Amino acid sequence: MDQDDPGEALAELREQRLSALELLQAAAGSGLAAYAVWALLLQPGFRRVPLRLQVPYVGASRRQVEHVLSLLRGRPGKTVDLGSGDGRIVLAAHRCGLRPAVGYELNPWLVGLARLHAWRAGCAHSVCYRREDLWKVSLRDCRNVSVFLAPSVLPLLEGKLQAELPEGARVVSGRFPLPTWQPVAVVGEGTDRVWAYDVHQGGPGRSSAPGPCGAPAPSLG
């Protein structure tokens, strides 16, 4: 049996090392690219918000948007989305007759993206996206509120909602329920589930009756 040529074996070993190095460089490049996207698109708005109040952006799915609208459709008054991201909920709310519809988002890149979506949909002058900290926005004139926020900030949000929302307002929370409020309606399954809460004089979310304007009856399915 012929013995392997030492020169060929050395060349093959060098090729294997080069391939491993290329793989490592590609992995590092991918990580750097992901960080660059985070730093440019998602981080700027966070610099003005305390760490405990920061909420990463995760866009609502089509089904989540549909569930939100099913719990708000037909209700009068101003509709707002707190942490509106790319504006998809605000745009959908306007299209189904929830007007005026306003989104509050601190990240300037996401606000720009939301306005672009509205322009492409022919609604640039009909919906409103404001670059504002949701914790500093007054909710006293809001009748319908949509939130898709992290569970860590929901206890603090409850206090703000209770202090500022008028009686009869409705809050719809997606992905995670408000920790101490009792929902009047629940729609969807898993991560697509959304909870509706009505604000009453005796305390938010304490009524078991369906909401006004023919809102769906409570459902745990």
What confidence score (pLDDT) does residue 56 get? 75
pLDDT by residue (tens digit) across 169-214? 999 999 999 999 999 999 999 999 999 999 986 666 544 434 333 3
Q: What is the pLDDT of residues 114-153, one digit of tens each?
A: 999 999 999 999 999 999 999 999 999 999 999 999 999 9
Question: 13: helix, coil or strand?
Answer: helix
Rounded CA-CA distance 145/56 in Å is 19
Q: What is the CATH number of the domain that holds 131?
A: 3.40.50.150
Report pLDDT digits (tens) over 61-74.
999 999 999 999 99
Structure confidence at residue 157 as a pLDDT band (50, 70, 90): very high
The answer to whether residue 186 sits within a structural domain is yes
Structure tokens at 150: 């992290």
For residue 86, give its domain range.
62-199
Place of tokens 């440019």: 40
Total of domains in the chain = 1
Asked if residue 26 is part of any domain, the answer here is: no
Which pLDDT tens digit goes with each residue over 42-62? 454 444 545 455 567 889 999
Cα–Cα distance between 171 and 143 in angstroms, integer? Answer: 8
Residue 185, domain member (yes or no): yes
More confident site: 213 or 11: 11
Strands across the sheet with 101-104, in order?
A: 128-130, 101-104, 78-82, 142-147, 170-174, 194-198, 185-187
Q: Is residue 116 part of a domain?
A: yes
